[in-house]
Amino acid sequence: MRIVDKPWGHEEIWAETDRYAGKFLVILHGEMLSRQYHERKEETICVVHGQLRLELGRGPDQVLSLAPGESYHVLPGVVHRFCAPDGDVRLAEVSTPELDDVVRLADKYTR
């Protein structure tokens, strides 16, 4: 397993091939990923622990609250942001292999 530290927590990449990737995302309480989209990457996330705030659209236009066991499929081009306002969140993510395919629209860490 490969651990990648992030300003919002970390990723635990447990599968990485030329056809798919699997990882856990640990988002610390009060933190959030950038508002982003992927040009090619397609991903499905499932909440393992905590309550995820999922923002969709540039506004955001829609906000979902996902509990453990709930999942969401993110298609290429869909603007999204994962947030942990109520405590630490652990997500499982499976995706196509383009792990660096991130277009950031807003980022509290100014990346």
**pLDDT, tens digit (0-9, with 9 covering 90-100), for 53-70:** 999 999 999 999 999 999
Tell whether 79 is covered by a domain: yes
pLDDT tens digits along 86-110: 999 999 999 999 999 999 999 999 9
Q: In what order do the strands lie in the sheet with 80-83?
A: 62-66, 52-56, 80-83, 35-37, 103-106
Tell whether 99 is covered by a domain: yes
Tell whether 13 is covered by a domain: yes
> pTM of this prediction?
0.95
pLDDT at residue 28, rounded to an integer: 98
pLDDT tens digits along 26-40: 999 999 999 999 999
Tell whether 111 is covered by a domain: no
Tell whether 30 is covered by a domain: yes
Tell whether 66 is covered by a domain: yes
Please state the domain count of the chain: 1
Tell whether 44 is covered by a domain: yes
Tokens standing for residue 8: 């919002």
CATH code: domain of residue 62: 2.60.120.10
Q: What is the mean pLDDT of residues 3-21?
A: 98
CA 64, 70, 76, 80 dihedral sign is positive
Structural domain harbouring 59: 2-106
pLDDT at residue 58, rounded to an integer: 95
